[in-house]
């Protein structure tokens, strides 16, 4: 089968690799891959365990400590029992592209400007060329041209904005996550090979981007001093963050086409993490490409249902109250005092704790948490 993959990020490149391994003739189209992205570049334990692309020589920073802060006075430090690493998205993208080229994938470094279908064949045009395909894969991000051409774009209410600064220099293998009471999102500081990634994720909206950028810059200056901003490189990009009601109308496939990763809205609605979901959706697509109708069903069973549950929990996490205080603040405070809560936070960071079973896990953890608190007072 001839397959055209539009978008050369992790989801698109991984889809191209897996489809080429299965004998399909694949063309990967992207005008700028590989590129950097304003994300921390954190790769969860779940992703490291599942995808063989991380078993090679990809440059990475092994994380020894993860500190979660709420405000200036509340924090808890976690030492992961299972590995969590940070990579450069550009280096990850290059690694994937190299593997795709090795497998014979044709890479076209142009932007798709038109998509249409005649009978069973797709026709794609760029500024300087055109190509045909039997199957079309949209892997071109949260504002996907493929998605807009075939159906309905993600609404502004289903998007978050990420802002990032990359600051040259080495740093300790320590990851930081900062929650601020007034911010419906969070700030991060992740060590990468050769530089530090500082960033912020928040709901998009009029005027929010400028305010978020100012908040992030002020935060970096307070953390590292004003001199670092002279060498800082700025990036910004939207990421999907679907609301609860949006999942039932999230059409991600049809006759001869499918969306993967951010283009399909497949990202954690609370954290914005998307690498695992991009790679896993590409994997499911490769397994179902010749079985029309199965892709969307398997995506829902494998990750969609859980992500939708995360969307339902979003308001409680960022705006909710617990024990008379901000939910995030109380979570950090309890994790400092309870080994049970701290372990649960660890499994969430590793990607091993589904949202679907989180409430049940919390309920059955109450006796252990109570015992931890009592034992701490003795």
Q: Which CATH fold would you assign to the domain 157-240?
A: D-Amino Acid Oxidase; Chain A, domain 2 (3.30.9)
pLDDT of residue 378: 52
- Which pLDDT score is estimated for 376? 66
CATH 3.50.50.60 at 2-37+88-154+243-312, yes or no = yes
Sequence-ordered list of residues with C-beta below 8 angstroms from that of 37, at least 6 positions apart, any chain = 9, 89, 162, 164, 235, 237
CA torsion through residues 163, 190, 307, 18, sign:
positive
Strands 159-168 and 195-203 turn out to be antiparallel
The pLDDT value recorded for residue 288 is 97
Taking the alpha carbons at both ends of the chain, their separation in whole angstroms is: 68
The closest of 201, 222, 223 to 212, measured between CA atoms, is 201
pLDDT by residue for the chain (378 residues), tens only, comes to 999 999 999 999 999 999 999 999 999 999 999 988 767 788 888 999 999 888 878 888 889 899 999 987 899 999 888 888 988 888 999 999 999 999 999 999 999 999 999 999 999 999 999 999 999 999 999 999 999 999 889 999 999 999 999 998 888 888 999 999 888 999 999 988 888 899 999 987 777 788 888 899 998 998 889 999 999 999 888 999 999 999 999 999 999 999 999 999 999 999 999 999 999 999 999 999 998 789 999 999 999 999 999 999 999 999 999 888 899 999 999 999 998 999 998 888 888 889 999 988 887 787 787 766 666 665
Give the whole-angstrom CA distance, residue 378 versus residue 324. Answer: 25
pLDDT of 372: 67
In this structure, the chain runs to a length of 378
Pseudo-torsion of CA 118, 124, 130, 133, nearest 10°? -70
**Looking at residue 377, what is its pLDDT?**
62
Token pair belonging to 186: 């969070």
Domain ranges of the chain: 2-37+88-154+243-312, 157-240
| Nearest-angstrom CA–CA distance, 179 and 128 | 47
């Amino acid at each position: 089968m001839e397959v055209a993959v539009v978008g050369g990020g992790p989801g698109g490149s991984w889809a191209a690799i897996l489809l080429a391994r299965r004998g399909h003739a694949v063309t990967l189209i992207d005008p700028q891959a590989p590129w950097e992205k304003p994300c921390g570049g954190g790769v969860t334990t779940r992703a490291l365990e599942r995808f063989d692309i991380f078993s090679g020589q990809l440059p990475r920073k092994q994380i020894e400590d993860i500190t979660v802060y709420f405000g200036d006075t509340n924090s808890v430090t976690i030492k992961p029992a299972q590995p969590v690493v940070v990579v450069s998205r550009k280096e990850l993208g290059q690694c994937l592209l190299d593997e795709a080229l090795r497998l014979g994938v044709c890479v076209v470094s142009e932007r798709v400007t038109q998509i249409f279908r005649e009978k069973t064949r797709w026709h794609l045009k760029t500024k300087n060329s055109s190509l045909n395909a039997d199957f079309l894969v949209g892997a071109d991000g949260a504002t996907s041209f493929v998605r807009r051409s075939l159906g309905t774009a993600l609404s502004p209410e289903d998007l978050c904005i990420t802002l990032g600064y990359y600051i040259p220099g080495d740093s300790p293998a320590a990851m930081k996550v900062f929650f601020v009471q007034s911010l419906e999102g969070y700030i991060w500081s992740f060590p990468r090979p050769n530089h530090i990634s500082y960033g912020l994720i928040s709901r998009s909206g009029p005027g929010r981007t400028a305010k978020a950028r100012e908040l992030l810059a002020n935060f970096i200056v307070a953390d590292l001093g004003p001199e670092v901003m002279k060498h800082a490189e700025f990036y910004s990009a939207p990421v999907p963050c679907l609301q609860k009601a949006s999942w039932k109308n999230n059409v991600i496939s049809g006759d001869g086409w499918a969306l993967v990763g951010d283009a399909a809205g497949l990202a954690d609605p609370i954290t914005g993490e998307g690498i695992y979901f991009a790679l896993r959706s590409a994997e499911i697509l490769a397994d179902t490409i010749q079985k029309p109708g199965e892709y969307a069903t398997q995506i829902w069973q494998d990750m969609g249902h859980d992500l939708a549950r995360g969307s339902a929990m979003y308001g409680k996490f960022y705006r909710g109250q617990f024990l008379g205080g901000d939910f995030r603040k109380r979570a950090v405070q309890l994790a400092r005092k309870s080994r049970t809560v701290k372990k649960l936070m660890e499994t969430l960071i590793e990607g091993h704790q589904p949202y679907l079973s989180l409430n049940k896990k919390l309920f059955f953890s109450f006796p252990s948490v109570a015992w931890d608190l009592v034992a701490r007072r003795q």
